């Protein structure tokens, strides 16, 4: 990232771009969570349907099967096998989709962390630049009046030997009593 913290227009543009990208990532994350939720509900419904078939009165189904001709029974078994294969394939597809969406979620989450880190780093750099520019101690050292006051000739007052009065440029330690 160039021009970070130098007060140029690039820093707000970068912040704006990062904010937009984070919002897009949040939207993707929401969609992934909704899709995962829907897939979990579908799996739960399929499992419930499977359990309800198992929980039916087996005796009554056996009686109805006893009354069916052999050809119809074979056809019914084939239909059940096809339905079983269809449900197993559907379950595998849902499991694969959940796995893919979990990977996508982790990828998006890692990107989100990276963006947050980048934003934090940019903010720290900008704050440091602002602090350096607005630091009153740093700013007063640069003023010419401040420089002249502390870097100019030393002003010392001493008494002259003959008059006994104070003048600039002599030191009090030179006085004799």
Query: Directed axis angle between helix 70-134 and helix 10-55, to 10°?
Result: 160
Band the pLDDT of 91: cuts 50, 70, 90: very high
Cα–Cα distance, 124 to 5 (Å, whole number): 9
What's residue 54's pLDDT?
A: 63
What's residue 177's pLDDT?
A: 47
For 12, phi then psi, to 5°, come to -65, -35
What distance, in Å, lies between the first and last C-alpha atoms of the chain? 71
Query: What's the chain's average pLDDT?
Result: 77
Q: What is the mean pLDDT of residues 67-81?
A: 87
At a CB cut-off of 8 Å and minimum separation 6, what does 141 contact?
Answer: 147
Angle subtended at Cα 176 by Cα 175 and Cα 177, rounded to the nearest 5 degrees: 125
For tokens 């130098």, what's the residue? Answer: 6
Cα–Cα distance, 125 to 119 (Å, whole number): 10
Q: How many helices and strands, by DSSP H and E, does the chain display?
A: 5, 2
pLDDT surpasses 70 at 41 = yes
For residue 14 the two structure tokens come to 């970068």
pLDDT digits (tens, 9 = 90+) for 114-152: 999 999 999 999 999 988 888 665 555 555 555 555 555
Q: What's the residue count for the chain?
A: 177
């Amino acid at each position: 990232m160039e021009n970070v913290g130098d007060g140029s227009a690039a820093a707000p543009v970068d912040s704006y771009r990062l904010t937009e990208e984070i919002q897009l990532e949040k939207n993707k994350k929401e969609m992934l969570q909704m899709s995962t939720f829907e897939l979990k509900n579908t799996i739960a419904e399929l499992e419930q349907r499977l359990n309800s078939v198992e929980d039916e009165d087996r005796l009554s189904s056996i009686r109805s099967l006893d009354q069916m001709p052999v050809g119809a029974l074979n056809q019914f078994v084939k239909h059940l096998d096809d339905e079983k294969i269809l449900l197993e394939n559907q379950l595998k597809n849902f499991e694969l989709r959940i796995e893919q969406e979990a990977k996508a979620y982790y990828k998006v989450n890692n990107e989100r962390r990276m963006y947050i880190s980048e934003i934090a780093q940019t903010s720290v750099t900008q704050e440091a630049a602002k602090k350096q520019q607005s630091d009153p101690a740093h700013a007063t050292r640069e003023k010419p009046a401040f420089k002249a006051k502390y870097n100019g000739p030393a002003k010392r007052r001493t008494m002259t030997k003959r008059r006994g009065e104070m003048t600039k440029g002599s030191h009090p330690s030179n006085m004799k009593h």
